[in-house]
Amino acid sequence: MARQSTAGTAKQEKKSGAVSYNDTMLRSFLRAKIHNATVTESNLSYEGSITIDAAIIEEAGILPYEQVMISNLNNGERFETYVIPGKSGEICLNGPTARKGVVGDKIIIFSYGYLDDARTEGFRPKIVRLDEKNRIVKTT
C-alpha cells in the first residue's frame, strides 16, 4: 500500500493576509512587544540588524536572529530587521537601519506569529515595558 505524505503546502490569502496550511487558516498576531525602548547607539558600519539587551529579548520571548518590526516614535519610520543579543541596556540600530533613527529616539519593537483559530481564544501577547535607561519596568 502506498504511503501518503503528511507534508502539506502553505497558501497565503491575498485579501486577508492569513495563511492556510492543510486547510487550516493561520492569522498573524502580535506575539511580543518591547515598548518604549531608547536607542543607545546607531552603527552604520555594521552589516544590519538591531542589537537588543539579551535580558530584554529573553523576557519578551524573542530569539536571536528572529525577525522583528520596529516603529520609531520620534520620526514615524517603520522597518523590519532581525535581532542580535547585546549587553545590558543596549538598543543599537545597525547597518542600514541606523538611518532610521538616532541615539535617544524612542522605539517599539514588535514580533508577530501565526495562530490557527483554535488557539486565538484567550491569547495575549507578551508586552515588556522599559524605562528611559532600557530597564524592564513591567511585563504583561
Q: Which residues contact 113 (CB under 8 A, 6 or more apart)?
A: 28, 29, 31
* Inter-CA distances, 18 with 28, 60, 97, 106, 108, Å: 7, 24, 28, 30, 24
The answer to whether 112 is a known catalytic residue is no
The answer to whether 49 is a known catalytic residue is yes
Active-site residue (options: 49, 65, 71, 111): 49
Cβ-based neighbour number of residue 107 at 10 Å:
24
DSSP E strands, 66-125: 67-72, 78-86, 91-94, 106-116
Q: Which residue has the cell 506569529?
A: 113
Active-site residue (options: 20, 46, 71, 82): 82
Cβ-based neighbour number of residue 30 at 10 Å:
15
Q: Which residues are catalytic?
A: 49, 82
